[in-house]
Amino acid sequence: MRWISLSLLLACQPLVYPDQCREGEAPNSSCFAQKRPVDSAEVELATRLANRFMHAHAPGDLPWNWEEGVALFALSELHRVTSDDALLNYIEAYLDHHHDEGYKVETSDQCPAAASAVSLLSHRSSATAQTALDRVESYLANDARRTTEGGINHMGVLAIMDPTLWVDSLFMFGEVWLRRADLQRDDEALDRFDEQFEIFTHRLQESNGLYTHAADWIIEQTPGVFWARGNAWVTAAGYDALRIHRLRGEQNPVHAAALEQQARRILETQNIQSGLWWTLMTEPGEGYEEVSGSALFLFGLSRAWRYGFLGDDVLPALHRGKTGLLGAIHERDDGPVIHGISGPTTAAAREDYLRVPLEEDLPYGVGAMILALIELAGLPESL
């Protein structure tokens, strides 16, 4: 497989990449939507999934947790394409409800809703959204315990064990900073993400390019186990960060190299027949193929192609993956339902990953599917 190196990209002046609407110009919000056609089958399906989710779950019924936060993040990304105010109204109602009822911000898993708060604030004033963002920023700056290297503890303020790094965190708190960098032009937020990405990569990325689930965790992990959804959190947030750097005309070659090494191994472990990934990535035939991790891989890899970090050779894998995702969506009388989503997963021994049951329509699985469909929309056929 041919890979376009960063040095080759840097040699091309002006830099040209697929998501541009005008050569040499960074895509603006209008261009972002133009490159993901609202009338495409992918965006139409993403919209139907979002509408079913919002109809099935009143905003006040959703807990303040990562599972729901990922779904709201996807709704905010869909709004960038469709401009449907019903999506923002739902996010605002969720934030208003939890502002009135009260919520805690004490772990990484309680941060993601603030990412959609940033998106809401980019369109309208909202005191509750600003409060949510301020609380998460205060937690990350002042309350979350850190490793000796400065990595943010996945378990937050919990003091009965040493701080631990989990790959999940890079998305859970990372997308809060990335939305600030993207929509509020907050340079310091991007710097904070870059610092954490470097720390997490140093501790968690193995020589084969894949990331292990956790470091300094109290439960013993089986060496050589690479969990798909965990790796996919890295791919999704990592390439989102590189996208923001590219929009600013900046480079981050260290992060780009780490992600390219990971992407190379991700593509090697894709099931060519189904287009999906096994929950234990390097053990094909063991356990099951998992949809939420596969969707997040396709979101991140598609975004990498759109912004010139991966070449056209990735397109066949993206199209195979899209076929696999569509096969996991079943039509019912009340709309499309997603099957094959593994439940919440703890860093543990190999057998524990295999025991996690598959479920349908879990909020983060719906969110991951919406994100993937958005980025797969408008992609050219394999070259």
- Helix H, strand E, coil C: the string for the chain is CCCCCHHHHHHCCCCCCCCCCCCCCCCCHHHHHHCCCCCCHHHHHHHHHHHHHHHHCCHHHCCCCHHHHHHHHHHHHHHHHHCCHHHHHHHHHHHHHHHHHCCCCCCHHHCCHHHHHHHHHCCCCCHHHHHHHHHHHHHHHHHCCECCCCCECCCCCCCCCCCCEECHHHHHCHHHHHHHHHHCCCHHHHHHHHHHHHHHHHHHECCCCCECCEECCCCCCCCCCCEHHHHHHHHHHHHHHHHHHHHCCCCCHHHHHHHHHHHHHHHHHCCCCCCCEECECCCCCCCCEEHHHHHHHHHHHHHHHHCCCCCHHHHHHHHHHHHHHHHCEEEECCEEEECCEECCCCCCCHHHHHHCCEECCCHHHHHHHHHHHHHHCCCCCCC
Q: What is the rounded distance in angstroms from the CA atom of residue 351 to the CA atom of residue 336?
A: 32
Tokens of 276: 């999906």
Residues 342, 290 contacting (CB under 8 angstroms):
yes
Q: Rg of the chain over CA atoms, in angstroms? A: 19
Mean pLDDT estimate for the chain: 95
- Please report the pLDDT score of residue 327 as a whole number: 98
**Count of domains observed in the chain:** 1
Cα-flanking dihedrals φ and ψ of residue 294, to 5°? -60, -45
Give pLDDT, residue 24.
Answer: 84
**Residue 383 resides in a domain:** no
Question: Does 282 fall in a domain?
Answer: yes
Q: What's the confidence (pLDDT) of residue 302?
A: 99
**91 falls within a domain:** yes
154-188 pLDDT, tens per residue?
Answer: 999 999 999 999 999 999 999 999 999 999 999 99
- Residue 381 placed within a domain: no
Q: What is the dihedral of CA 265, 247, 296, 349, to 10 degrees?
A: 60
| pLDDT on residue 71 | 99
Neighbours of 285 (CB within 10 A): 8
Residue 41 placed within a domain: yes
Residues of the chain scoring pLDDT < 70: 1-14, 382-383
Look up the CATH number of the domain holding residue 45: 1.50.10.10
Q: Residue 245 CB: number of other CB atoms within 10 A?
A: 17
Residue 1 included in any domain: no
- Domain extent for 92: 6-376
Let me know if residue 24 belongs to a domain: yes
Domain membership of residue 241 (yes or no) is: yes
